[in-house]
Structure 1
Amino acid sequence: MATVKICGIRAPETARELNRLQLPIDHVGFLFAPSKRQVTPRQAGELIALLRGDGGAAAGPLAVGVFVEPTEELLRETLAEAPLDVLQLHGNETPAFCRQVRETFGLAVFKVVSVASGGEPEADPLEAVEPYRGAVDAILLDTHDPLLGGTGRTFAWERIPAYAAWAADAGVKLLVAGGLRPDNVDELLREYRPDGVDVSSGVETDGHKDIAKIKQFVERVKR
């Protein structure tokens, strides 16, 4: 069964309601890079506490910190206030950097790979991901955009199998983001069977996380 990551949580009331509902959400993402969904390390720490409630660190979804080309110092400062479980790197971080931070902090590392939409030239997927073999725990495919995701646009899904084959051979997970919604995630899972899916704007209404849409999305992935 595919894992679910809800990205861009920033409102305490959203965290409280997700804790109350106890939905089978596997990961919750917090954006520390410039974005309309950006939070501070202290805010993220407070949100993680609300998500986990009285259960402490063992309860609730894993906390994912989303960064763009962070320094080790920034990661250390962030982790001092936000108990993250996963570091998601969304920029041009090198395989050496990914390996180094994974070893330094003892946390899983997800590396984001941008995939062109159908009208753009197709790059060789192996060229993009092969250097990360042995350096990361998961590859997350997202729609190519100069901004930090959350565009609401899908990429060309027919490009997924090449990445999936590489991920299986490399022993890492393959996650898919980019324009996912409750009404299209069924098709993605049925046709391409990634290890997990990541959603942000697709479960929002007027720029705010919509609990009803989150419930619908999670139910469609987990059923």
Structure 2
Amino acid sequence: MTKVKICGLMDKQTVDEVCRLGADYIGFVFAKSKREVSPEQVRLLTEDVPSSIKKVGVFVSPTIGQLQMVIEKAGLDLVQIHGEFPEGTCSVPMIQAKSVKGNERNLATTADFLLLDAPPKEYYGGNGEPFSWETIQPNTLPQEKLFVAGGLTVANVQQAIAYFQPFGVDVSSGVETNGVKDLAKIQAFINQVKEYDHVPTTR
């Protein structure tokens, strides 16, 4: 079953609805971004989140000390790192995000999970643009711990799953309208993932 991560959440009503709609992972941005939130906010936003739904903090080039401080304040279950990956041991599983610019030769990771994303623009992640999937050979990747992000929408998420066969898919701007999370788009996105997983086929 392909996991779904909805990222860039900022208000409690949306967090609660995303959980009800069937997300497996919910993401909160602790780096410079139009979706940036504080650890204290996230603690309040997630007070009713079931333990089965994992809370992910998104960071850019943090230190282990910075990670641990936010993990404890926000109550995170995982951390997702863009930019420089920190050295040291973390108390929760780590997702290493790697930008795919084309003809990548080094997508190996020592992290618990690998996330493929489009190259950064003003910010890392959440830019709504896909990377060139065909530059990646999925069978060379650790698909059992792979997340795919970058420009995913209702229209292309099934193709992404078919191509990469990932552990999970990650979406932020692809389920927004005018920069705000759109619950109808989130429901449709999750439905597309579940539909792919449940339809028997000779893919």
Structure with a larger share of its residues in helix: 1
Q: Which residue of 1 aligns with 2:130?
A: 154
Q: Helix, strand or coil: the match of 2:85?
A: coil
CA contact (8 A) 1:18 1:51 kept: no
Map 1:188-203; keep pairs closer than 5 Å. Answer: 188-203=160-175
Kindly provide the amino acid, as one letter, of the partner of residue 126 in structure 2. G
Q: Helix, strand or coil: the match of 2:137?
A: helix
Q: Is 2:96 the counterpart of 1:111?
A: yes
Paired with 1:152 and 1:166, the residues of 2 have a C-alpha distance of 23
Paired with 2:160 and 2:72, the residues of 1 have a C-alpha distance of 37
Identity of aligned residues (%): 40
Map 1:43-58; keep pairs closer than 5 Å. Answer: 43-52=41-50, 58=51
CA-atom RMSD in angstroms: 1.7
Aligned length: 194
Q: Which residue of 2 aligns with 1:167?
A: 142
CA contact (8 A) 2:116 2:149 kept: yes
**1:13: how far off?**
1.8
Q: Which residue of 1 aligns with 2:154?
A: 182
Kindly provide the amino acid, as one letter, of the partner of residue 2 in structure 2. A
CA contact (8 A) 1:15 1:50 kept: no
Q: Is 2:116 the counterpart of 1:91?
A: no
Structure 1 stretches of 4+ moved >3 Å? none
TM-score for the superposition, normalised by structure 1 = 0.81
CA contact (8 A) 1:115 1:142 kept: yes
CA contact (8 A) 1:110 1:137 kept: yes
**1:141: how far off?**
0.1
TM-score for the superposition, normalised by structure 2 = 0.88
Q: Which residue of 2 aligns with 1:101?
A: 89
